A and B are shown apart, each in its own frame.
Chain A
């Protein structure tokens, strides 16, 4: 059973197109994330959702819009794709820290390699 899954694994598209990446987790976690990994392997958080509510929104162009239909899903929609959007996008999930603010590790999906031509 895959804990965090992403589709598609590879996505090749032209500039200006609109595309979506889907993410699902079957771990029962409350919090989900999207990260962008650039060509130098640098990982940067983009968004975080807790119980379908946006809690982290880093400096990301508003062409990127996350959508969480339920706790188990966090999809990433990208409008008007640009060459600089080419990267590997990772979805992740974790348990919520709760009132005790305990920190739980994040579980990552296999990544979606987006290539914009």
Chain B
């Protein structure tokens, strides 16, 4: 069975500081992993995805994530937070068949000016 755990339902960082949002997965087979962002009152937008190519994945808006099999982690980072990064972030894992996603519970990012 596949699932994801996002540690920290709320994360606050100062503008310009490092953003680190944690995601751990459990999967019986190598997974596909995704990070989505949801801005207030909007749908989900794909930030980046890991599909067994490079372990360091670069996404939009300066975000990146590193797949670490030994730690079963796929943490999302950004070197310098911007006010516009304030949003809800979801980690998701998929079965490699059937197109079914399992979403984490989300992490709300607050950026303090």
User: Which residues of A are interface residues toward B (Cβ below 8 A)?
Assistant: 4, 31, 40-45, 48, 50, 55-56, 90, 92, 94, 96-97, 101-111
Contact = CB atoms under 8 A, between A and B. Distances in A.
A103 B96 contact: yes
B99 A41 contact: no
B94 interface: yes
B105 A41 contact: yes
Interface residues of B, number: 25
A20 B62 CA distance: 39
Nearest to B107: A41
Contact of B46 (A50, A55, A56, A105): A105
Which secondary structure dominates where chain B touches chain A? Answer: strand
A92 B48 CA distance: 17
Contact of A97 (B46, B99, B101): B99
Nearest to A58: B100
Interface string B81-100: 00000001010001011111
A96 B49 CA distance: 17
Interface in B31-67: 32, 34, 36, 38, 41-46, 49, 51
